[in-house]
Homo-oligomer: A and B are copies of this chain.
């Protein structure tokens, strides 16, 4: 899917596109000191190689009435190990569950979830996640403050 190395200009392009995903090709070309067609070809190559996986608008959760963000750790009961893939599917189907990672350490899964308020968060956890057969333990860490908003990947 990729493998070919990125040179300094590719890195610069990625840096800019992570900062402003809607920049026009000519402005981007100017920033990275390339002619527009050159720049265009590079961007397309990065997209085709899967280096750039897409473009997203960042939406303020509060505007969508999602006042609560939380990280939720989930464990799977030993008896349910054979059904993990199903359980993953059920977790993934919840729209409020934004990310799911399997992690090393005390818990099996770490989820990032959003909810309208603490009451809906609680509902999500107890009425939906904990109802999934095989889910043994659900613990949540409610986000109180965002000290650093999701930053761009370091390009170095």
A98 touches B50 (CB 8 A): no
Contact B64 A59 (CB under 8 A): no
Query: Is A6 touching B154 in the complex (CB atoms < 8 A)?
Result: no
Residue of B nearest to A144 (CB): B102
Q: Which residue of B lies closest to A43 (CB)?
A: B57
A141/B59 contact (C-beta < 8 A), A96-B154, A148-B100, A154-B95 known? no
Task: Mark contacts of A50-77 with chain B using CB atoms, 8 A cut-off: 1 yes-contact digit, 0 otherwise.
Answer: 1111111111111111100111000000
Copies in the assembly, this chain: 2
A58 vs B110: C-alpha distance when bound (angstroms): 21
CA distance A139 to B69 in the complex (A): 21
Residues 14-64 (chain A) with a chain B CB within 8 angstroms: 14, 17-22, 49-64
B58 touches A55 (CB 8 A): yes
Q: How far is the CA of A62 from the CA of B96 in the complex (A)?
A: 27
